Structure 1
Amino acid sequence: MNETIRVLLADDDGLVRAAIDAILRPLAGIELIAQAADGREAVTLVQRHRPDVALLDIRMPNVDGLAALREIRRLALGVDVVMLTTFGEDEYVAQALGAGASGFLLKDSAVDELAPAIRAAAAGEAFLSPKVTRQVLNQLPATSAAPRSELARIESLSPRERETLVLVSQGLSNAEIAGRLQVSEGTVKTHVYRIYGKLDCDNRVKAAMVAQRAGLLDEPPA
């Protein structure tokens, strides 16, 4: 994208806000336009500034990140939301998945992944930190098996789409998948969008959860 991505940050820890500000400030094409200390203030600032992407801490006073996410989605302002989490908050991540978050970052990995997550969200893609991917999928209950309808959708995938889905579920970006499969990034995007359609999912993280329930991630590599 050529236009500057406008970002809002909400976290009750001033040190975290300062650290993220320091990471984003020198980056071309990304501008931190507002900061909030709780979820209520975040929703107010989202309505006022209409950022492209909102970074929300999951645990915040007054209104937490999950409630703020749901309210931002309800307002339908076209703002994509990336959640900031700490290790061990798996149950919150799972709830945020269902509420429509576009991405998830562990705070201790944000330095390397923050800008890619923001750019992916602004481009309409989902970004899931590989560490978060493993956390969420490992926490799915053993009884959470795919219903027949999901198994039928998995069967409708081509061999290359299945291979792509596994790599998506491992938290790889489109560029990383392209390198692994020795194809263009545009080809990977085409595979991903076809996977969405066949699995009836609207983002990468939901597709990964379908793959997990179907046992696709337990299959030995081809």
Structure 2
Amino acid sequence: MNPPLTVFLVEDNSHVRLGLIPALRDLIGAQILATAESENEAITWLASHKEGWDLAVVELYLKRGTGLGVVRWTNGRPGRQKVAVLTDYPTEATRRRCQKAGADAVFDKETELDQFIAFCQGLSEVSAAGLG
């Protein structure tokens, strides 16, 4: 059996976290490694788990710090590791800033959850095929 897609979730809203975790597990068989609620907490986890994740899902607006700082910190990561921003404020300017900072994709929590899940499914299939 192939290993599941391993996910690190950076989200300060507990309701969103509690909805995303089972959705990722049930829909794509992902393994949620850890969660963080602040920029510092996320960077601390990432620094101690540099190779141990496949996908970081990052909210931009955190209670302390920003998701953009988290995305920037991941620059230089191995190519198999992807960063997806999942936010309530995906303006075109925000999308450009995220991509410039190193995000692989940006999704609107309200209107693009299907696209987000499809993105994750694609990563899961690549990981399962050993191509990641």
Provide the TM-score with structure 2 as the length reference. Answer: 0.77
Q: CA deviation at 1:91?
A: 2.0
Aligned to 1:4: 4
Q: What's the secondary structure of 2:85's corresponding residue?
A: strand
Q: What SS does the corresponding residue of 2:19 show, helix, strand or coil?
A: helix
Question: Contact 1:103 / 1:121 at 8 angstroms: preserved in 2?
Answer: no
Question: SS of the residue aligned with 1:9?
Answer: strand
Query: Equivalences for 1:59-138 in 2 at 5 Å?
Result: 59-74=61-76, 76-78=77-79, 79-87=81-89, 89-109=91-111, 111-121=113-123, 123=126
Please tell me the residue identity of whatever aligns with 1:112: D
2:55·2:82 contact (CA, 8 Å) conserved in 1?
yes
Q: Is residue 41 from structure 1 mapped to residue 41 from structure 2 by the alignment?
A: yes
After superposition, give the CA deviation of every residue in 1:90-132 in whole Å (9 maximum; x if it has no partner): 32221111122111111013542333222335649xxxxxxxx
Q: CA deviation at 1:16?
A: 0.8
Q: Is the 8 A contact 1:53 1:81 kept in 2?
A: yes
> What is the CA deviation profile of residues 33-74 of structure 1, one whole-angstrom value per residue up to 9, with x for unaligned ones?
111101221122223342100000011133211111111114
Higher relative contact order (CA 8 A, sep 6+): 2
Query: Structure 2 regions of 5+ residues with no counterpart?
Result: 128-132
Q: CA contact under 8 A between 2:39 and 2:64: conserved in structure 1?
A: yes
Q: Cα RMSD over matched residues? A: 2.3
Q: Which residue identity is paired with 1:102?
A: D
With the length of structure 1 as denominator, give the TM-score of the two structures.
0.49
Counterpart code for 2:5:
I
Identify, as 1 or 2, the structure richer in helix: 1
**How has the CA–CA distance of structure 1 residues 13 and 73 changed in structure 2, closer, same or farther, with 3 Å as cutoff?**
same
Q: Which residue of 1 aligns with 2:130?
A: none
Distance 1:121 1:70, change over 3 A: farther
How many Å apart are 1:87 and its aligned residue?
A: 4.2
